Amino acid sequence: MQLLADELEQETFTSTLELLGDPQRYSGMALALGVTCGIATQLLLDGHLALSKPGVLAPYTKEICDPIRALVEKEGVKMVEQIA
């Protein structure tokens, strides 16, 4: 069965990082990368279950992304998400 274009519903998900640095402290890029790497490293050292597998882990699964994202947002680094 072939669906017509009108019958298909498309959604576009957009995530935008809106982060400003502080001229007296760190740039936005330093915050975004440094905080994220620091939190991921701390979770690894704490033995977090999602990071306990051996080898190189890409942060593309919910098990890895969600704990990191929650802690990063507490530090003020967050994404603005829209669905159109």
pLDDT at 1: 54
Closest of 34, 9, 7, 5 to residue 19, by C-alpha: 34
Contacts of 74 (CB under 8 A, 6+ apart): none
pLDDT at 26: 86
Decide which of 26 and 8 is more confident.
26
Instruction: Give the model's confidence band at 9: pLDDT under 50 very low, under 70 low, under 90 confident, else very high.
Output: confident
Closest of 5, 65, 14 to residue 36, by C-alpha: 65
Decide: pTM greater than 0.75.
no
pLDDT in tens, 19-74: 888 889 888 888 889 998 999 899 989 998 888 888 888 778 888 888 988 999 99
Domain ranges of the chain: 15-83
Decide which of 2 and 44 is more confident.
44
- Check whether 6 has a pLDDT greater than 70: no
